[in-house]
Structure 1
Amino acid sequence: MLFSLRAALAGCRRIFSSSGLMKDILIIEPFFGGSHGQLVKLLLSDHEIAHRAEILTLPAKKWHWRARTSALYFSQTIPSGKNYRYLFSSSVLNLAELIALRPDLAALKKIIYFHENQLIYPVRKRQDRDFQYGYNQILSSMVADSVIFNSEFNMESFLSSISSHLKLIPDHRPKGIDVMVRPKCRVLYFPISLPVCAKELQTISVKKERTDCDLPIDLNCVADVKEVNCEMNCTYSGQLCSGSSNCGEERKNIDFTSEKLSVAEIGGSLESSFEDSVDKNTLTLEKQENDEHKEHGLTRSKKPCHHSLVHIVWPHRWEHDKDPEAFFNALFSLTEEGLDFRVSVVGEAFSEVPDIFLRAKSHLQDKILNWGYQTREDYLCIIDEADVVVSTAQHEFFGVSMLEAVSRGCFPLCPKRLVYPEIYPDECLYSTQAQLVKRLKRFCSFPKSVRTDKFKGLAARFSWTCLQADYKNLFPVFENSPPS
């Protein structure tokens, strides 16, 4: 009888929670796209968090305006009178402004997540740096109860740059802010979640213990993967694979934009996918993005893969902070020496594309396999076929695309700076442009030297499987009293 009573009470608690009456986590994302959107989706892939969370987001457009004004917007859209205990947001939000505008939120445990920091963003000229963005992040870190960074490099570069950033103030400069903020800071690596297909499952021994993190890829797309039955690569988990048997089918995204969303109200468990709550406007988003990219001449080449030649992939945003000039100059050096190779230049382009891309497309025309924005499935096929993945970034705090490619068997070649020495061994790093060219020359001459799975397991410790418990611990359950 006692056992039955306990079971019944446990069932009541579950129903009570899923009914929306115990929503105690408020997740805010002013820039719901890229890694920002991916993190929110992965948090919601945990059933307990999903049943406890309400989400407010804005589309991943006009980043500068999101950083400037989203606090005011959310101050008007966050419902009053809710029993929230936690507030989780990326550092795009000016948390200090939000709390000033909504003092009723001050008692929540406020968690701010830094995907990047604006204090060391590379600018061509010092006067180009907008003081306000970094200043907003400093204020947010002061107001937050917990400050989470996606890497040690991100955390230390932020803390060590606070004083120099504040020295830009002409007079009456505050002091000791870094000392005040540091005790609240910790590193929680960004979790990556990669698709798994039936063919791969045949060769992977899945261990059930959460602490056993030696898997080469993550098996949790949305929940524990119980069945995967697909002949081709599953869709990328950034769009949350539903766990259904038809993993090759294109997934739809939720329209989180400017709406309060209770995950439990989406229409069943997350295992049944997010498709039931898709807004019609969202269904056109990918088409619109594809059309925008086509306007810039960014299309996929249909050329066959030349397996005898080394295939180099550069999967980054088409912006100057990723230093595309360094990458293309290295390739120009290879062609001048008569070396042959194939290249895929993929990634997201925006309204202003650096001129080097147009010049490179013309100069490397006969060597290009893929060029510009790709669907997720096409992207996975490309990195599966590629041999070397290269970064030339001047601004990188984690590098999701690099780890994705490495997990699919690409040899990583990264600059010996930023976050990369934290993640990759020395043999994957180069210090100078000349060293980058030298390594690529060798790869062109000996393609088999990079066709190895030696580094494939590097991504394992950053998988959602390994990190899910740590993220879940950000939101402990308190039965009767608010969090301290």
Structure 2
Amino acid sequence: MSSVKPQILIIEPFYGGSHKQLIDTLIDSLNLTDYELFSLPATKWHWRARTSALYFSQLIPPEHNYKVLFTSSVLSLAELIGVRPDLVTCRKIVYFHENQLVYPVREVKKRDCQYGLNEILSCFTADIVLFNSNFNRNSFLDNVQPFLNIQPDFKLKHIREKIEKKCEVLYFPIKFHAFPNKRRIVNVEVDVDVANLEQECLHLIWPHRWEHDKNPTLLVEVLLELNKRQVNFKVTICGEKFPKVPEAFEGIQEKLGAKLVNYGRLSREKYIETLLTGDIVISTADHEFYGVSMLEATYCGCYPIAPNKLVYPEIYPKRLPIMKLKLLYTSYSVKILLNVYM
């Protein structure tokens, strides 16, 4: 066993999905002796955000040679440094996959402000704060003061100014080179006849986490309306699935029948294979800060249809030739979304 102590401490309280993908990409470029990774499974997010700092404080060895600490914003970095002051000398880097200041909640009064406060305090504690998109960075900074104004008295001021200089954008790294070179490359100005799309069996793909902020209700409304209109399509509903299935998905298998060709999480191999056979990748999200699965599907030859808000105008800018097909919609009405498809 090597006596060399690692200099990089990596902490991921929610080791799944894009969080896991980022960490795995990061450590692929490191030697085993360079880093030490501490993680927790990607379940029970609220408890990970609340208690992981205390949990990891007991796991991280008291004798170490760490020079860099890298973690996601799920960890309350301020709490960790508070109970483990020996880590304060590390170069502390926090990566924001999302931010809680603008996380959609069903009722504003039920928003748990502690998660947002933890993120703000983590920014104070960190040396570098990284965001996966300009939209993520700007939405966080723009909402720091409105979020803090929820406090009824003793208003906090000048918080944004104190953390903004630390904030940078580092786009999420996607290993496109790992995808098979079998994707369809289409000249959208020459080869695509939108008017003829309804004559083909379109393979629609919805590859998102099965939670309310991805708006599965809208997806189901659209699919049932397409089915009602006898549109020739098939659909894959995949992405990260949790024990509690969204209410909107109840009975969807019976309602769509054979048109629902994939339902549930796919293996990585099957996922890529499915993307390569897709025609359109759909987002109905109310909450999206980067869109890894959308970009992966687009790379594999699927045409993206997404809201004209959140991060999507950033990852699908107007200057792209593909945008001639008007792939960003501005309304959540079924009628407009159907018009985009048709």
TM-score, structure 1 normalization: 0.63
Report deviation, 1:19: 4.4
Residue in 1 that maps onto 2:191: none
Alignment partner, residue 258 of structure 2: 366
Cα distance in 1 for partners of 2:295, 2:3 equals 37
* Higher share of residues assigned strand: 2
Report the counterpart of residue 175 of structure 2 in structure 1.
193
Structure 1 residue runs without a partner (length 5+): 1-17, 204-306, 443-484
- Structure 2 residue 209 is the aligned partner of structure 1 residue 317: yes
Report the CA distance between 1:68 and its aligned residue: 0.3
Alignment partner, residue 224 of structure 2: 332
Q: Deviations over 1:174-210 (max 9, x none)?
A: 1111111000000000111146477659x9xxxxxxx
> What letter matches 1:47 in structure 2?
L
TM-score by length of 2: 0.88
Where does residue 412 of structure 1 map in the other structure? Answer: 304
Which residue matches 1:108? Answer: 90
The counterpart of 1:173, out of the listed 136, 150, 155, is 155
Higher alpha-carbon deviation: 89-98 or 419-428: 419-428
- CA positional deviation for 1:170: 2.2
Give the number of equivalent residue pairs: 319
Q: Distance in 1 between matches of 2:271 and 2:64?
A: 42
Structure 1 distance, partners of 2:240, 2:179, is 26
Kindly indicate whether structure 1 or structure 2 has the higher relative contact order, using CA contacts under 8 Å at least 6 residues apart. 1
Q: Verify the 8 A CA contact 1:20 1:51 in the aligned structure 2.
A: no
Once residues 216 and 270 of structure 2 are traced to their aligned partners in structure 1, the CA distance between those partners, rounded to angstroms, is 22
Residue aligned with 1:47, SS: coil
Compared with structure 1, are the counterparts of its residues 198 and 310 closer, same or farther at alpha carbon in structure 2 (3 Å cutoff)?
Answer: closer
Q: Structure 2: which amino acid aligns with 1:429?
A: L
Give the conservation status (yes or no) of the 8 Å contact 1:20–1:52.
no
Specify the SS of the correspondent of 1:175: coil
Cα drift, residue 349 of structure 1: 2.0
User: Residue in 1 aligned with 2:189?
Assistant: none
Mapped to 1, the partners of 2:180 and 2:20 lie a distance apart of: 27
Pair 1:117 & 2:99 matched: yes
Partner of 1:350: 242
Offset of residue 361 of structure 1? 2.5
Q: Are residues 1:85 and 2:67 paired?
A: yes
Task: Give the one of 103, 109, 114 matched to 1:127.
Answer: 109
Alpha-carbon deviation of 1:51?
A: 3.6
Q: Which residue of 1 aligns with 2:14?
A: 31
Which residue pairs with 1:439 in the alignment?
340
Change in CA separation of 1:418 and 1:387 when aligned onto 2, cut-off 3 Å: same
In 1, are the aligned partners of 2:182 and 2:276 still within 8 Å (CA)? no
Aligned 8 A contact 1:349 1:373 in 2: yes
4+ residue segments displaced more than 3 Å:
194-201
The percentage of aligned residue pairs carrying the same residue is: 49
Letter in 2 for 1:33: G
What is the Cα deviation at residue 394 of structure 1? 0.3
Q: Is the 8 A contact 2:99 2:136 kept in 1?
A: yes
In the TM superposition, what are the counterparts of 1:11-90 in structure 2 within 5 Å?
Answer: 19=2, 21=4, 23-47=6-30, 50-90=32-72
Distance 1:69 1:371, change over 3 A: same
Decide which structure has the larger Cα Rg and report it: 1
